[in-house]
Copies of this chain bind each other. A is one copy, B any other.
């Protein structure tokens, strides 16, 4: 095999050598070395047949926009297996997009004291308040939703219209609704501003997170590393709690949920701040993060920045702030978003290298990694996993046909990676299953198999922020669930 690089001049290919090279290549991919049990092999054969049928169809979901493909995916037998499969942990999910917006509308906006106003750029804002709230700039007068609903003939239409403001998902043509990256990011940010007032209300905050855990748990995800802005949450009288209170709330709800669900492993928090801030704000944020890391060592996982990379400041701009932990001898793991861009060669495009130079524990997205061979090598050799979020990258218009997603190449050589969903509620996806479907069918084509899925699930524990003994425990728990999944689906 080592001789395969030599040109053999006037010779005919040896079928055994060909077979060996094909096997070599197959063994190089994610999960290529996984040895399957007999039962697993039976399920794998079934999956292969399902994929062959999926590829034969005129509409191949991974090549379509997720908004148009979702109903096809939902009816796919592969997807139904993805849902049942224990997928391990979700390592790249944001706090304010964990819960399907349907729940926000049907549950949260029906609670008492909920006010709404309409902004002059056609978005909406909410607030819970015991008194009539003060008007917001560039917004209509507040209405009590209860009153508005009482006056409205078609409440379903009203609720649908509210829901449309809280998510990017649409049944219209996504190309027309979101013609450019600028438009989609603008709508994305407006969506977060719209749900901000709903979710940061203390009683809702607790319930929202609990509901988020419930939804991921229902999708057979057993662990979560949540990127959280840790907003100062408010009470009905307009008073605010501090950041530590927010973190403590997360911890309490997590403990309660884990107690209720012994086969759920838990959650940890990655504190995030928007990259649009200036250096001094970033310095304070890093200081706050170090403090939280010290006070909640078991629950805090580390620090990251959020917001559109292309319009924000590059990591290197914040180097003074990001150097503080090392300078002070304090451990603050980083989990930087990097390479979520197609602006090759710009300052922002250096984020991948800089994230690695700042010893990031993982890379959020890493969409540009293929164009950066040095960063790619570092990520591989250091075992810094890429958090791949296929649907997110498609919705934000980095790639159209998911077969061309760079992770397809990374998966063909078992680059350290995990699959995640970024902002499932914004994209109308659920837990991890839709993204697992896209990765398995879109990136892998007919080449990926049950071993690939097994490896991806195990990667989500191996590349988590959990300590080695915790990883052992999590892996044992996952294995029990996996064995159950295999036996239940190979009868």
Interface, chain A (partner B; CB < 8 A): 4-13, 17-18, 21-22, 24-25, 28, 55, 58, 63, 180, 316, 319, 323, 325-327, 329, 331, 342-346, 349-350, 353-354, 357-359, 370-375, 377-378, 381-382, 398-401, 403-404, 406, 408-409, 412-413, 444-448
Contacts and interface: CB of A to CB of B under 8 A. Distances in A.
A293 to B, nearest CB: 13
A370 B409 contact: yes
B344 A445 contact: yes
Contacts of A382: 5-7
Contacts of A4: 374, 378
Contact of A10 (B9, B326, B403): B326
Nearest to A372: B25
B371 A409 contact: yes
A250 to B, nearest CB: 27
Contacts of A412: 370-373
Given A24-B374, A343-B446, 11 more contacts: A6-B382, A7-B382, A10-B331, A11-B326, A12-B326, A22-B353, A25-B353, A343-B445, A346-B445, A399-B404, A406-B409
A354 B13 contact: yes
B374 A5 contact: no
Contacts of A58: 180
B22 A345 contact: no
B10 A344 contact: no
B353 A18 contact: yes
A77 to B, nearest CB: 18
A25 B359 contact: no
A403 B342 contact: yes
Given A18-B353, A319-B13, A399-B401, A8 B370 contact: no
Contacts of A359: 7-9, 11
A29 to B, nearest CB: 8
A400 B401 contact: yes
A447 to B, nearest CB: 4
Contacts of A371: 408-409, 412, 445, 447
Most buried by B among A7, A55, A180, A319: A7
Nearest to A361: B7
Nearest to A367: B404
Nearest to A381: B5
A344 B442 CA distance: 9
A292 to B, nearest CB: 18
Given A359-B8, A371-B412, A18 B378 contact: no
Contacts of A444: 344-345
Most buried by B among A5, A344, A373, A448: A344
B354 A446 contact: no
A302 to B, nearest CB: 14
Contacts of A342: 63, 401, 403-404, 445
A305 B313 CA distance: 50
B10 A346 contact: no
A393 to B, nearest CB: 10
B374 A25 contact: yes
Contacts of A446: 343-346, 349
Nearest to A377: B5
Nearest to A1: B374
27 contacts: A4-B374, A5-B377, A10-B326, A10-B329, A13-B319, A13-B354, A13-B357, A22-B353, A25-B374, A25-B375, A55-B346, A58-B180, A63-B342, A342-B403, A342-B445, A343-B446, A344-B446, A345-B446, A346-B445, A349-B445, A349-B446, A370-B408, A370-B412, A371-B445, A373-B413, A399-B401, A404-B404
| Closest 6 pairs between A and B when the two form their complex, measured CB to CB | A344-B445, A345-B446, A13-B357, A345-B447, A370-B409, A25-B374
